[in-house]
Structures are given as structure tokens and as C-alpha cells.
Amino acid sequence: MDKQLRIGVIGAGRIGKLHADNLVNRVPGAKLESVSDVNLEAAKALAAKHGVTKVYDDYMKMLADPEVNAVFICASTDMHYPISIAAAKAGKHIFCEKPIDHDLGRIEEVLTEVKKAGIKYQVGFNRRFDRNFKHVRKVAQEGGVGEVQIVKVTSRDPEAPPLSYVKSSGGIFMDMTIHDFDMVRYLTGSEVTEVSVFGAGLVNPDIIKEGDVDTCIIMLRFANGALGVIDNSRQAVYGYDQRIEVFGSKGCITADNETANNTVHYTADAVTCEKPLWFFLERYNEAFVEETRSFVDACLNDCEVEVGAFDGLQPVKIAMAAKKSYELGGAPVKVQP
């Protein structure tokens, strides 16, 4: 392979557009080779924006192109598994948005096919690439807080999604908290062994009618003995609330919200600062770029991806245990090893 990774983007929706823009404008060594979407007009529009001539409404045609070295799977969640399997069998490196699937057996099958094909497979847990979160992890892993005892994650969206999304997303634990499940594994360097969950419909009672919750507190036990707490809400009226803390025997390290600027204005009337950035595309913009650069580098230089298929499997196991605990009224549930 030459020192340019020729990439096909499958899915021309919001996240597909984001990755395509980054590949073209901000990731050295990447070339956007083709675009595919079942909505051909959407695929054509995205391709035209970036001067791409190869456009498909069937991803199998893209996979048959020998000039495509890798694919970005940005289609709907239900298509992540079949496209992953097909792309692996076609020998393409794969970047897949989370989750790989909601079924553990299917994810295990993807792991098997990836290993058999000898390709790179990265999962889109972009928060690992946030500069502040990476620093917190580095300090914790290097012993900067001593023995890790408690990890806390606050993750609250600025507004609740439409009910149509809730009906198809797999639920809050699978579509929202799954990022936090990955983050606590990342920060502690340990697997979650048990979860206890309390949830409620405090934002929109109709979400409860759909069998989901919009507010939850999740307590975790880790294999290394540490404890964890995640709190989620579908609606934080002040913006996208994203904070982490790692506490240990020798100290503590935190990462607060990103804001438009970090100034604080002091007057006789009040002390004021900026609110958190409003949405994930703003908050994690640079993290999206960095995860893409990391994937391209792994493919071009044959090194390990930073977030592999196994990392896509473990948070799904935790999410399944969390849902069961909620259904049991908060009873502790073991995470499948």
C-alpha cells in the first residue's frame, strides 16, 4: 500500500458528512475515494462537495473496488454488523461508528472475521481522543493519583431526542451511556464486573412508555477493586455537560466542561463564566479529527488501532447488564466476562 489511504464512506448522514469533511480537510494521508448511501441523492451531494466521482447506493459495489483500502461505516446501527462482515471479507480496513451491534454473538462474529482477515478495525469511541480526557488517563495510568479508587463520569445531553429516535436507538444505556462505559474502562484500565442502576423519566414521561429512561445513576465495580459512578440526563438546559474525575490514594484529577473561552468575569454583582458548549459536534470536534488521524496512521504504518473491536464489545456487555439492573429495580447485575 502507498502512503495514502483510499477510503470509502458508507452513510451520508450527519456523522458520515463529519468524517468525510475531516478526511478531506484535516487528515494527512487520507483520500476520500468514494461515497455510498441507500439514499443515492444524499451520497451524490456529499461526493460532489468533495469532488468525488465514485458514488453508490449499494455498499457492496464500493467493497468490490480494489482502489478502496478502507471504509468508514457511518450507516444506521442495524447495518454496522453486516457491513463489518462484508468489509472484513473484502479485506478492507474498517472504522465503525459505535455500537458494532446490540447482539453479543454478532459482535463476536465481527471479531472473528477481523482476526481472520488480518485487517485494522477501529470503533468510534471518539471521547478517548479528547485532549483533556487523554491527559487524565495518562496521569492515572502513570500513578499520578496513586491507586485508583473512584472514577466519576457526568454525561448530560442539552436536549432530549425525539421519541422516534428513542424507539430505535436501543435505549439510553446502548446509545448514550455506552460512551461512558467505554470511558470508565479507559480511565481505570480495568473491566467493569458489576453494575447497579436507578433510572427515571424526569425529562419526558413518554420515554418511560417506550421502555426507556431519560435520567439515571449507574454504580459500578471494577476488576481491580475500584468503584465508579456515572450520571446521565437527556436534558441539561445549560449545554452539553461532560465531566470526569479519577480519585485515588495519592490524589485526584478532573476534567471539566469545554467552553467558548475559559475566562471568569468578576464584578460587584456577580461572577460569571461561559456555559458549556451546546452539542457533541462542537464539544468533541477535535476528538473526531484525532480519532480519524489515529486510524489512518494505524493502517498506513501497520500499528495497533487505539480502540479495537474488543473495545466495541465490552461496553455493550455493560450496557446489557445495566438495562437488566434497571429492570430489576437497581439490583446488582454481574457483567458477562
pLDDT, tens only, 194-203:
999 999 999 9
Residue 198 lies in a domain: yes
Distance CA 254, CA 34 (A): 41
Domain boundary among 63, 89, 119: 119
- Find, among 124, 140, 236, 122, the residue nearest to 184 by Cα: 140
Q: Are residues 86 and 179 in the same domain?
A: no
Q: Are residues 112 and 78 in the same domain?
A: yes
What is the per-residue pLDDT for 23? 97
Q: Are 96 and 33 in contact (CB under 8 A)?
A: no
What is the per-residue pLDDT for 279? 84
- The whole domain housing 209 covers 128-280+314-334
- Mean pLDDT in residue range 237-261: 96
What is the per-residue pLDDT for 165? 86
- Find, among 294, 303, 253, the residue nearest to 129 by Cα: 294
What letter represents residue 8's amino acid? G
Residue 291 lies in a domain: no
Burial class (CB in 10 A: 0-12, 13-18, 19+), 331: exposed
Q: At what angle do helices 80-89 and 104-117 cross, to 10 degrees?
A: 20
What is the per-residue pLDDT for 2? 55
Where residue 90 falls among pLDDT bands split at 50, 70, 90? very high
Residue 293 lies in a domain: no
> What mean pLDDT is reported for the chain?
96
**Tell me, what CATH number does 173's domain have?**
3.30.360.10
pLDDT of 1 > 50? The answer is: no
What is the per-residue pLDDT for 136? 98
Residue corresponding to grid cell 439514499: 39
Q: Are residues 25 and 85 in the same domain?
A: yes
Give exposure, 192-206, as e/b (b: 16+ Cβ within 10 Å).
bbbbbbebebebbee
- Mean pLDDT in residue range 124-129: 97
- Mean pLDDT in residue range 300-324: 97
Beta strands 192-200 and 215-222 are antiparallel
Q: Are residues 319 and 184 in the same domain?
A: yes
Q: Are 151 and 295 in contact (CB under 8 A)?
A: no
CB atoms within 10 A of CB 59: 23
Distance CA 76, CA 168 (A): 10
Q: Are residues 23 and 111 in the same domain?
A: yes
**What letter does residue 9 receive in the DSSP assignment?**
E
Q: Are residues 318 and 242 in the same domain?
A: yes
Beta strands 215-222 and 227-233 are antiparallel
- Mean pLDDT in residue range 258-280: 93
pLDDT of 206 > 80? The answer is: yes
Residue 286 lies in a domain: no
Q: Are 99 and 255 in contact (CB under 8 A)?
A: no
Beta strands 251-255 and 241-248 are antiparallel
Q: Are residues 136 and 174 in the same domain?
A: yes
Q: How many structural domains is the chain composed of?
A: 2
**Tell me, what CATH number does 10's domain have?**
3.40.50.720
- Find, among 164, 221, 232, the residue nearest to 198 by Cα: 232
Question: Three-state DSSP class for 290?
Answer: helix
pLDDT of 114 > 80? The answer is: yes
Residue 323 lies in a domain: yes
Residue 256 lies in a domain: yes
CB atoms within 10 A of CB 217: 14
pLDDT of 58 > 80? The answer is: yes
Domain boundary among 54, 84, 119: 119
Distance CA 308, CA 267 (A): 49
Q: Are residues 84 and 144 in the same domain?
A: no
Q: Are residues 97 and 140 in the same domain?
A: no
Q: Are residues 160 and 256 in the same domain?
A: yes
Residue 42 lies in a domain: yes
- Residue 276: partners with Cβ closer than 8 Å, 6 or more residues away: 236, 238, 239, 240, 241, 242, 257, 258, 259, 283
Domain boundary among 57, 85, 119: 119
- Mean pLDDT in residue range 144-154: 98
Q: Are residues 185 and 275 in the same domain?
A: yes
Q: Are residues 154 and 246 in the same domain?
A: yes
- Find, among 284, 303, 9, 325, the residue nearest to 125 by Cα: 284
Residue 287 lies in a domain: no
